[in-house]
Structure 1
Amino acid sequence: MKSTGFAGRLVALGAGVAMAATAVTGLLAAPAAAANTEAAAASKPKVWATKPTASPRNFSGQCPVEITFSAKISVRLKGVTKVQYRWLHGDGSKSKIKTLRLKGNGVKRVTVKEKATFSEDLKGWQALQILKPQKVTTAKRHFTVSCQEPTRIRIPKKPKYVKAHVNVKPSHYYGFCTPGSRIVAEGTIRVSRPTWVKYRWIHNGRVVDYGRTKVWDSKRVHYSFTPRESHRGWVELDILSPRYGADDRDFYRVTCKTHHAPIKASARVDAPHPYKGFCPVGRTFTAAVSVNQGGGHVKYRWAGPGYRGPVQSLYFPRHGVLTERVSHTVQVNESGKVVRWIEILGPNSATSNHAAAWVKCVGPDSQKDPKQETPKEKTPKQEAPKEEAPQEESLDAEATSA
């Protein structure tokens, strides 16, 4: 019994020693395990992420609409690292877990996205949750969706035709090319039904004006310009919209006049030499009609006491002579003085000098040779009856134009 008891005490003592050894071993192993845990934690790469963005964030319009959420994940790497993440939704649902495999050293950034489609009004949020290598959850990004009824757009029916017509007035311009001078292109646009028409004006190949107008049946549009030099050209009315519109073009001509001082005319009359002899006789007056510059007509007539001749005309070319000579013949039947002058009637009014020609008519008896006369018998001198003194006859002259 004693041996049995002693043996029992030995067994108990051995068990106690074993327990003590185990306790000592546990005490020694605990610091080592803690050190291993800290080393493992230190060896894990650090990870963080930005707050997600929503595009569009506040939507208002026709649904359904697709919204894109995105966030940036940053990882400090030492070798190869796997990153696991998922999206958290405002309705409590979660997306599938996705894995990224990154390798390298240093900080690496990657952008992750998720697209969601919404068909009704909603106020929600979305966040990104990283599961590995560390568990990180970003802040929530709130967004709204406001669905609107689609706007009905009424598309007007196309007109069957759109036509343009152009008329340049005047088609041939002749005058002074000054800033006050204008040439007008009148355009008419015709449509089969009311429509908006876009058009443009083209002048000699250069676009000079644009326009847009509502045409119900027909409408007139205008373009004008100042002629600067003599030339030929064209103006076109080009229909831009509707595209099937018919264009039109008209041609014109410009002849510019140059400015000149007004033409002034004058005249000087020369009388024929005095005449003594048989009558009737024709006496011719000559005159020089002069202008200050060419390029026009001069109207004039011969005149005298109690006489006005027919109106006559002289033309002086622009680059021709400035003096023309004219003549006028007067048929004289008796002795006396014949006076003539020229009256300028256009383009100005003027009167020349008065020229006088003297005529002395001698009868046929005064022209006989005295040697050929036969002597006459002397007869008693008789007193001739007294006669009344003849009245002075007026000069009878007929004028003819040379």
Structure 2
Amino acid sequence: MARKAAAFGASAAVLAAMAAGLVASPAQAATSAAAGKAGTATAAKSTKSGKVSVTTPKVSSKDYQGSCPVNLRFSSRISVPVKGKTELAYRWLHGDGSKGKVQVVKLKGHGTKSVTVKESVTFKGEVKGWEAVQVLGPKKVTSKKGYFSVSCADQGGRNDGDDRSGVRTDKDVSVSARAWASPSSYEGACTPGDKIDFTGLISVNHPTWVRYRWILNGEVADHGKVKVWNKRKVGFGISPRHSQRGWAQLEIVGPDDALSNRAYYKVWCKDSTPAPAVKVSATNLVTATNHNGCKVGAHATVSATGAARVQYTWAVNGESVAKGESLFAGSGSKTVELSEQALTGEAAKGGKITLTVTGPNNNDSITQSYAACEAPKPTASVSSVSVTNTRTDMCKDNRGPGVDFSATLHSTGPTTVRYYWVVNGVKDVNVLERQVNGDLAVTWGVGGTQNSKETKGTIELVVVSPNAASSGVANYSATCPKADA
């Protein structure tokens, strides 16, 4: 019923480190016994002028065996595209989850520059681990992991139950344990494979080797021995073949005695039934005619009742114009779009768009009509207003001169343009109308200012239909001529 457990991870502390070559941070490297199976991040990213890349760190002695402490040296090369001035920011990553101090290197010039970064780490005890380099700028890139191991030769009085200093007694080591089940309750088909996993957390006050065993419903189900620096997880799992409930407990048998809480679980086995066949469908087809340029586009909903690869085809008036594919991890719906297609000939007078979807077990389609293209409605615009004449006859009546203005209305086709003039920020008259097909000049004028030799202010022409437009506000100023002496 039980399967042999594997440790969830191992960790070790690095007690001292020094930088070598370019500045590098101290490390607390260490690691997990399962670290060798972990995935790594992509080691290159594009910039506008090239790629940032970083090599897998190399170690001076990948599988060291001999006396401890030992100093291992790590190095990696970072390549960066440089255009002018560029700052390279990076840090070392360690197998125990810790991160080194961020280091910055300033680069100048053009083209790809390479920088070798180094780190020196001292290990005082046995360890399996990895080191990696993470570039933070100008692009974030993480190298692959460079794995290493340290195996220390016997040093008088030392045994694999000793801590790193070689001096330990049972009295100065304290061990505690906690356990839990995941999931604590299972309901479903009881087929081969783990259904309940038990995890135990071992905590120590001093680094030490710990011997433990798992008790399942009163009987030993698994056992092991791990090195614990501070905290470490261990575990095992069961695959019940019948409904049951029970508990598991993590027992520490050395160098200290400790017993975790009971992690309770229950399993309810049910007969499995074949999953229903996945069905696909196409719904909610909407078409849209773009009269500006006579084009048509569409969007619709593609659905699946389970995990499936769905292929779809768009057709306009029975002719295939686009194809696509959508992946479903489970049941759900997605929106698919047909980009605008140019319409010519009879198709410009209207027609139909069809979406056909194909799944692993069925096909489905949906059709919707689209509207005929219409000529775009004319639009209007107006030029800036200019002063065309100054009337000085008003100066004889102790008034400033009159001022005449002109602006040009423009339309993209035959249409009625409605507009009004604004003088000194105030609408001067009611809305005027003109039939315009192309360009049409319109004029306006203002009288002289009473008891003044000068007439000045602002003028604007505002179009209200077939669309809104404005000439913009223009300043004007006119002065009566000086009388002859």
Q: Judging by fraction of residues, say which structure has more strand.
A: 2
TM-score, scaled relative to structure 1: 0.33
Q: Judging by fraction of residues, say which structure has more helix.
A: 1
Larger CA Rg, structure 1 vs 2? 1
TM-score, scaled relative to structure 2: 0.28
